[in-house]
Amino acid sequence: MSTTLFTHCTLFPGAFSAVTDNAYILIEGNHIAAIGPMAQAPPPGAARVIDVRGKLVMPGLVNAHAHCAMTLFRGMADDLDLHTWLHGHIFPAEARCISPEMVYWATKLAAAEMILSGTTCVADAYFFSALSGRALGDCGLRAVIGHGIVDFSVPSVPDPAENIATVAAFIAEWQGKDPLITPAVFAHSPYTCSPATLIKSCRLAEEAGVRFFVHLAESRNEIDMIIDPRGTSPVRHLATLGLLGSNTVCVHGVWLDDDDLDLVGRSGTRIVTCPQSNMKLASGIARVPDMLRHGIAVGLGTDGCASNNSLDMFREMDMLAKIQKVAGGDATSLPAQAALHCATGGGATLLGLADIGRLEPGYRADLIVVDLHQPHLTPFYHPDLLVYAASGADVDSVMVDGRLLMAGRRILSFDVEEAKARVRKLASTAGSAN
């Protein structure tokens, strides 16, 4: 069994309030075997010793919602509202560009960006999901991959009648295939999926024992134009169909009223918030503090980088904590530590991955090393600085499941230059989304 000993670490073992100086972390195989003060470090014998003096070790970040392959569309359609962006630009671009090759290489490019900015686990949602699985697996990331479902033709499933069978085959192929990759079902939204499709998608997920995801209540437009004719809210629409519950993850949840919050909270339904995508598409601000008060599990996601336009979870944490202060007119609305929790342990449990998101013996060795030598992280009084001052560029090293994917900011697990070249070539024939 391979062993790695991190020495002279600054770390915070789960309780983000107290930074512990000069600790060791022993990794055995794919899990954290021991953590303690350097004075009690195990004698030499580990296969690999990494001295991280002046650096901080923390749990890897969990991006609970992204569309990895959309790196191809980054910057293609900016400064648009959600409806114009999606229906006028992105769906047409996807109809032209999505292919197995596109999904594989654009997802690998996303993996490079995520590793370089400290994400160790991503919940992806796209099409040709077997290729996303292969790409993320080849890069060494942990991932929950939701195969997309919509009621119209897409390049991966030209006949929407084949959707459920296609996703069922994807799940059957990937369950148990790669310990780092967990398949899931992603029904796009209540405005692109009929009630029957939503029900079949959710039942498929339940029967297969995988998560059911859906974009929900993202924009005012979804409320006004799509759901209002039914005389109900998106949340109540799902509740009426019997689709709320602890296996359901709603992405966005920007437009929730008090009754919606009650329904979501009482049913155990989970929510992923994507503040920067919601800001850029002018969708609104999710009521995250109210969600937490209702006992709702909240994860943090970037959404795709055609709407964000970044996959850097440090930027996302910063924005989450700050936008909630603006929305609530209260500097304590969402403290930095709550943002850190959403981006680590909170996101992990929401995805059903119980043994990641914390630095504790027995947990998987999914961790990142942040360089504290930078001027903007000096002095380092408190880990809140990770939210309000650090960025993905401060991540020095990344480990997933005991495997070092990046060291000294050099990606070790795959050839990033090849992924960049492939995506540049795909972009040269993608045409403009405008």
Binding site residue list for Zn(2+): 65, 67, 215, 303
Shortest gap between Cβ of 69 and ligand LTUXU72L (angstroms)? 9
The Cβ of residue 179 has, within 10 Å, a number of other Cβ atoms equal to 11
Q: Does 316 bind ligand LTUXU72L (CB under 6 A)?
A: no
**Where on the phi/psi map is residue 216: left (φ > 0), alpha (ψ -120 to 50), or beta?**
beta
Q: Does 280 bind ligand LTUXU72L (CB under 6 A)?
A: no
Q: Does 124 bind ligand LTUXU72L (CB under 6 A)?
A: no
Q: Does 104 bind ligand LTUXU72L (CB under 6 A)?
A: no
Partner from Zn ion, ligand LTUXU72L, none binding residue 133, C-beta < 5-8 Å depending on class = none
Q: Provide φ and ψ at 166, rounded to 5°.
A: -65, -45
Decide: 107 and 124 in contact? Cβ < 8 Å: yes
Shortest gap between Cβ of 423 and ligand LTUXU72L (angstroms)? 17
Q: Is 184 helix (H, G, I), strand (E, B) or coil?
A: strand
Among 125, 130, 145, 243, indicate the residue that binds ligand LTUXU72L (CB under 6 A). 125
From residue 138, alpha-carbon distances to 1, 13, 184 in Å are 21, 30, 19
Among 13, 59, 148, 190, indicate the residue that binds ligand LTUXU72L (CB under 6 A). 148
Shortest gap between Cβ of 219 and ligand LTUXU72L (angstroms)? 8
Cis amide linkage into residue 179, ω under 30° from 0: no
The interface mask with ligand LTUXU72L, positions 198-237, x = CB under 6 A, is -----------------x--x-------------------
Binding to Zn ion, residues 114-133 (CB under 5 A) = none
Binding to Zn ion, residues 289-308 (CB under 5 A) = 303
Decide: 254 and 219 in contact? Cβ < 8 Å: yes
Q: How many residues in the shown chain lie near ligand LTUXU72L by CB under 6 A?
A: 16
Calpha distance 359→205 (Å, rounded): 30
Task: Enter the DSSP assignment of 206.
Answer: H
Decide: 298 and 350 in contact? Cβ < 8 Å: yes
Q: Does 366 bind Zn ion (CB under 5 A)?
A: no
Pick 280 or 358: Cβ nearer ligand LTUXU72L: 280
DSSP string, 331-378: TTSS-HHHHHHIIIIIHHHHTT-TT-SS-STTSB--EEEEETTSGGG-
Which range binds ligand LTUXU72L by CB under 6 A, 223-231, 300-308, 316-324, 386-394?
A: 300-308
Closest of 226, 206, 230 to residue 218, by C-alpha: 226
The Cβ of residue 62 has, within 10 Å, a number of other Cβ atoms equal to 30
Q: Does 186 bind ligand LTUXU72L (CB under 6 A)?
A: yes
Contact positions vs ligand LTUXU72L (CB under 6 A): 67, 86, 90, 94, 125-126, 148, 186, 188-189, 215, 218, 277, 303-304, 307
Contact positions vs Zn ion (CB under 5 A): 303
